[in-house]
Amino acid sequence: MNLTISDRFERLVKDKEIQFDQKQYELINILAEKSEEFIAYTKQSLLKRIINKKMNRPLGMYIYGQVGRGKSMIMDLFYNNIDISQKRRVHFNEFMNEVHEQIFIWRKKNGVSKNGDSDPVLMVAKLIEKDCKLLCFDEFQVEDIADAMILGRLFKILFEMGILIIATSNIHPRNLYSEGLNRDTFIPFIDKLEENMEIYNLQAEKDYRIDRIKNKRVYFSPINGQNKKNFYEAWQNLIGSIEVTSRSIPLKGREIEVSVSAGKFANFSFDELCVKPLGVADYLAISNNYNIIFISNVPKLDSKKKKRNKKVYKFDRYIL
């Protein structure tokens, strides 16, 4: 017997792996219906999909809500249980880095590709279509003008190709790239999202991730093997199944590198935060992008190291 994602959710509740949340359950049932629609659509012949085009393609889904409301857990259930072989789940920032890399490679060749394409965005879309019928994005957000400039055309082509898209985000699509340069040129992309995706606000009751570390030990000293293990376990308990990646935070024409990032959680070493040449603007950018920060290998602070201590003071003032 094949279990639906609704069945899987109910089993997790029964096994006390998660708490029951009515809003989550409502979304799970909607996604169960989406799964059936998506599977039926992808099983159609290519010719039939082309003939029917948009009229036949089911709407994707853009799920937004506050941090810790269960979006990643629900995406896990949806992605792991949908019977579509050509599917991909990826952090949106990682996806856009790949897109830019492919465009760079195309432009470096400085010519028309073998099949006659003269549009690098179309080329990227064709590469995606070749191996993927369903795209699932975690942490959908747009902060960089380079992303904003190509998203409209890329997604227009993907939708026309019949690619099905599910995305999670912390913000409503109307608030994407809200303070961005030339944002008026970005609005058509938002319109395209709303035209092709159902917008759903997950209003779960509480932040379940924070519960994972509530009343738990969060300071481990001294630095030894056991406490390193405790630190790692606390991190893993917080992030759960969230994908861990590296990412870059754009800031005034440069980038802040975050080597260990999982959604709205980051894991830094002390040296990365307080020895590297970071300033107030960097700390503010980090605090605006993350809700919880883990810091490893914090040394005993020596009053003789005034330069480092000033960095610690700035970090404490603008992040903690």
Q: Which residues of the chain have pLDDT under 70?
A: 1, 45-55, 110-117, 204-215, 304-309, 311, 313-320
Residue that finishes a domain, picked among 179, 201, 223: 201
Domain for residue 208, yes or no? no
Q: What is the pLDDT of residue 259?
A: 94
Residues 29 and 153 in one domain: yes
Q: Say which residue the tokens 């992040």 belong to.
A: 319
Q: What is the pLDDT of residue 28?
A: 95
**Contact criterion met (CB below 8 Å) for 263 and 72:** yes
Q: What is the pLDDT of residue 198?
A: 96
Residue that finishes a domain, picked among 201, 235, 252: 201
Q: What is the pLDDT of residue 214?
A: 65
Domain for residue 116, yes or no? yes
The residue type found at 269 is S
Q: What is the pLDDT of residue 94?
A: 84
Is 0.85 topped by the overall pTM? no
Q: Is the dihedral of CA 208, 214, 217, 223 positive or negative?
A: positive
Domain for residue 60, yes or no? yes
Residue that finishes a domain, picked among 176, 201, 226: 201
Q: What is the pLDDT of residue 17?
A: 75
Q: What is the pLDDT of residue 111?
A: 60
Domain range for 163: 5-201
Per the prediction, the chain carries an average pLDDT of 84
Residues 48 and 190 in one domain: yes
Q: Say which residue the tokens 């920060």 belong to.
A: 293
Q: What is the pLDDT of residue 165?
A: 97
Residues 117 and 57 in one domain: yes
Structural domains in the chain (count): 2
Q: What is the pLDDT of residue 220?
A: 92
The CA angle 61-146-170, to the nearest 5 degrees, is: 35
- What are the angstrom distances between the C-alpha of 80 and each of 5, 198, 233? 9, 21, 24
Whole-angstrom distance, CA of residue 99 vs CA of residue 105: 10
Task: Return the percentage of the chain with pLDDT > 90, whole number.
Answer: 42
Q: What is the residue-wise DSSP string for 53-84?
A: HHHHSPPEEEEE-STTSSHHHHHHHHHHH---
Residues 21 and 106 in one domain: yes
Residues 288 and 192 in one domain: no
Q: Say which residue the tokens 């608030």 belong to.
A: 175
- What are the angstrom distances between the C-alpha of 105 and each of 37, 63, 96, 121? 36, 33, 14, 12
